[in-house]
């Protein structure tokens, strides 16, 4: 009896995760849904032109989740997958108009001052240009600069951030320059 319980637990441990993730819980996009989303965002949403991406790539909405295309969308995160459903990159966007951030200053004497400031992305990383807009790229530390990283810039009052673990800086910049 003990062996049967043990075997049952092993079988559940192997198959249950596969059943739980067999179907994506996020919304795969088709052109009709994408058109509706573009009408609901509160900023200029930039996307790669469909014909510029390799055949078979898919995109899904990660955030907002669940997707409600009847409400204004203030921030969106899209995930792109290749034809084999392997994650390639994420693309997050939101408006910078009127956006504020809390910054901190130190005076070198163990005291800090917090203040509200206009939004501005980090200036860390390699300076790059995307669609004639200054941005930054930071490589993942563990990949020795071979694959992936973070890329961000502001275009048409929209903050865009792309991240990937699998595609190169050159490929990320190529895709970013296709956003219209």
Integer Cα distance of 154 and 121 in angstroms: 8
- Delimit the domains of the chain by residue range: 20-176
Q: What is the pLDDT of residue 133?
A: 93
Q: What is the pLDDT of residue 58?
A: 84
**C-beta of residue 116 within 8 angstroms of C-beta of residue 104:** no
Tell me how far apart the 2 most distant CA atoms of the chain are, in Å.
Answer: 69
Integer Cα distance of 87 and 160 in angstroms: 18
Q: What number of other Cβ atoms are within 10 A of residue 59's Cβ?
A: 20
Integer Cα distance of 157 and 164 in angstroms: 23
Burial class from Cβ neighbours inside 10 Å (0-12, 13-18, 19+) for residue 140 reads middle
Take residue 121 and report the two structure tokens written for it: 């992305």
Q: What is the pLDDT of residue 60?
A: 86
Q: What is the pLDDT of residue 63?
A: 82
53, 52, 58, 55: which is closest to 31 by C-alpha?
Answer: 58
DSSP secondary structure string, 62-129?
EESSS--TTS-BSEEEEEEE-TT--EEEEEEEEE-TT-EEEEEEE-SSS-EEEEEEE------SEEEE
Digitized pLDDT (tens) for each residue of the chain, 180 residues in all: 544 444 445 444 454 443 333 344 455 666 677 778 888 888 999 888 766 677 888 888 888 777 787 888 889 999 999 888 899 999 999 988 876 667 677 766 667 777 667 777 777 899 999 999 999 999 987 666 678 899 999 998 899 999 999 999 999 999 999 988
Per-residue CA distances from 88 to 12, 40, 81, 113, 115 (Å): 30, 26, 5, 40, 37
Q: What is the pLDDT of residue 27?
A: 57
The residue to which tokens 């910078």 are assigned: 96
Q: What is the pLDDT of residue 171?
A: 92
Q: What is the pLDDT of residue 51?
A: 65
Q: What number of other Cβ atoms are within 10 A of residue 126's Cβ?
A: 13
């Amino acid at each position: 009896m003990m062996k049967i319980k043990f075997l049952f637990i092993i079988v559940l441990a192997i198959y249950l995760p596969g059943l739980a993730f067999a179907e994506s819980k996020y919304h795969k996009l088709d052109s009709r849904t994408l058109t509706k989303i573009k009408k609901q965002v509160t900023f200029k949403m930039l996307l790669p032109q469909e014909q510029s991406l390799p055949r078979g790539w898919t995109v899904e909405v990660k955030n907002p989740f669940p997707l409600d295309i009847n409400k204004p969308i203030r921030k969106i995160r899209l995930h792109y997958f290749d034809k084999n459903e392997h994650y390639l990159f994420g693309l997050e966007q939101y408006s910078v108009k009127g956006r504020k951030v809390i910054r901190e200053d130190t005076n070198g004497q163990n005291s800090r001052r917090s203040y509200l400031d206009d939004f501005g992305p980090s200036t860390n990383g390699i300076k790059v240009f995307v669609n004639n807009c200054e941005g930054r790229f930071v490589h993942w530390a563990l990949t020795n600069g071979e694959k992936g990283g973070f890329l961000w810039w502001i275009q048409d009052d929209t903050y865009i951030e792309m991240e990937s673990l699998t595609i190169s800086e050159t490929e990320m910049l190529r895709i970013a320059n296709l956003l219209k």
